[in-house]
């Protein structure tokens, strides 16, 4: 159950994270005139799939309260401040994205656009602070046993929040290079290539700084990441992240999507493997897990649901990519 949950979390980070990153670049696109084509590319890239991307977050939440209910209760009660702010950000972001497309007046488009962009920054930040709180052992077992402020306002959490925003922007920039190239907009592909290069370096520096923060704030997790069983995942993240930069330089946009994703996956799974089997301070997976009958029923339901969900999502993404290509072909004389 935990492995399936972590796969769902990985999908949310890769797809939902890039979704948030698109909003970051929307924020940094410039004025209404100069930034119009950038915003149109972002909107065209995430428009058909942004709602589907958040299915993975619901998937993770359901598995948490079903498979490890005591952990879910502790996390949701101690971290209700950042989680509530993240939830409000997701709602505001989705509403603003929809209303901006339906608005005809410039002031309305600017209002909803600013809401969409701002929410795209604060939402991954607060989700990152919640992850940092769990990683640094600041969420004790029990209902609201942790400090409601310092549990997520601490060095590890703040670094994780900044890293979440940077990672989202990096993934989005890497993905948008390929989308711009495929739609016949080489100037935008070049622009997002430069942004991806700069963001990749920034994320690399943040990751290194995060290790230093972990060394001081969460030495147990730091030891697992640098010399324990999580080390191979950290190495994968570093190698893939470094490999992405020359691929971007050489304009290998299709390949860089894979290496950029691997860099993020290595970091995420390194955290999970490094912390396993301890979920909360003094609480192991075996102690937190639901009963065998609940786990069996849940996994059986997941297997049935996957028969419908996985092909549907695959068809959605594949169809969207084909429409991209077809649209370009129709536009060419």
Domain assignment present for 226 = no
First to last CA, the chain: 53
Q: Give the per-residue pLDDT at 322.
A: 63
By three-state DSSP, how is residue 103 classified?
Answer: coil
Report, in angstroms and rounded to the nearest whole number, the Rg of the chain calculated over CA atoms.
20
Q: Answer yes or no: is 279 within a domain.
A: no
Rounded to 5 degrees, what are φ and ψ at 132?
-65, -35
CB atoms within 10 A of CB 102: 9
Residue 52 lies in a domain: yes
> Does any domain span residue 284?
no
pLDDT digits (tens, 9 = 90+) for 208-252: 999 999 999 989 889 988 888 999 999 999 999 999 999 999 999
- Mean pLDDT value across residues 13-18: 91
DSSP codes of every residue in 167-184: HHHHHHHHHHHHHHHHTT
pLDDT tens track for 249-284: 999 998 999 999 999 999 999 999 999 999 999 999
**Which is more confidently placed, 182 or 279?**
279
Residue 137 counted as domain residue: yes
**What is the residue range of 136's domain?**
1-195
Distance from C-alpha of 218 to C-alpha of 205, rounded to nearest angstrom:
19
Residues linked to residue 280 through DSSP beta bridges, in sequence order? 283
Question: Under 8 Å CB-to-CB from 200, ≥6 apart: which residues?
Answer: 170, 241, 244, 245, 248, 260
Calpha distance 161→81 (Å, rounded): 14
Q: Looking at the predicted structure, is the pLDDT value of residue 108 above 70?
A: yes
> With 60 as the cut, is the pLDDT of residue 330 above it?
no
Averaged pLDDT, 298-315: 89
Strand partners, 278: 284
Q: How many domains does the chain have?
A: 1
The angle that helices 36-46 and 155-182 make with each other, rounded to 10 degrees, is: 100
pLDDT at position 48 is 66
The answer to the question of residue 330 being in a domain is no
- CB-CB contact of 142 with 75 (8 Å): no
Angle (deg, nearest 10), helices 253-275 and 186-217: 20
Query: For residue 327, what pLDDT is reported?
Result: 44
Classify residue 13 by its DSSP letter.
Answer: I
- On the question of pLDDT at 329 being above 70, the answer is no
């Amino acid at each position: 159950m935990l492995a399936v949950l972590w796969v769902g979390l990985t999908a949310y980070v890769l797809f939902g994270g890039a979704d948030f990153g698109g909003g970051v670049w929307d924020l940094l696109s410039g004025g209404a005139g100069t930034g119009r084509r950038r915003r149109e590319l972002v909107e065209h890239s995430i428009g058909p799939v942004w709602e589907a991307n958040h299915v993975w977050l619901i998937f993770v939440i359901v598995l948490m309260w079903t498979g490890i209910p005591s952990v879910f209760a502790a996390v949701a009660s101690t971290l209700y401040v950042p989680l509530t702010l993240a939830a409000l950000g997701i709602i505001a972001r989705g509403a603003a994205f929809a209303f901006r497309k339906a608005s005809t007046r410039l002031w309305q488009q600017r209002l909803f656009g600013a809401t969409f962009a701002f929410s795209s920054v604060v939402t991954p930040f607060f989700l990152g602070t919640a992850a940092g709180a769990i990683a640094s052992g600041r969420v004790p077992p029990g209902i609201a046993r942790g400090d409601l402020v310092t549990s997520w306002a601490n060095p590890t959490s703040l670094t994780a929040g900044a890293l979440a925003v940077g990672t989202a922007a990096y993934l989005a920039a890497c993905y948008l290079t390929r989308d711009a190239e495929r739609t016949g907009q080489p100037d935008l592909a070049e622009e997002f290539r430069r942004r991806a290069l700069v963001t990749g370096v920034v994320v690399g520096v943040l990751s290194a700084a995060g290790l230093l923060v972990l060394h001081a704030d969460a030495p147990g997790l730091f030891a697992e990441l640098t010399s324990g069983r999580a080390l191979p995942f950290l190495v994968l993240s570093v190698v893939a992240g470094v490999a992405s930069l020359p691929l971007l330089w050489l304009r290998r946009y299709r390949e860089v999507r894979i290496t950029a994703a691997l860099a993020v996956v290595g970091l995420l799974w390194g955290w999970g493997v490094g912390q396993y089997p301890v979920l909360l301070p003094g609480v192991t997976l075996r102690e937190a897990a639901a009963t065998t009958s609940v786990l069996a029923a849940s996994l059986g339901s997941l297997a049935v649901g996957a028969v419908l969900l996985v092909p549907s999502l695959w068809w959605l993404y594949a169809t969207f990519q084909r429409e991209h290509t077809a649209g370009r072909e129709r536009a060419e004389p």
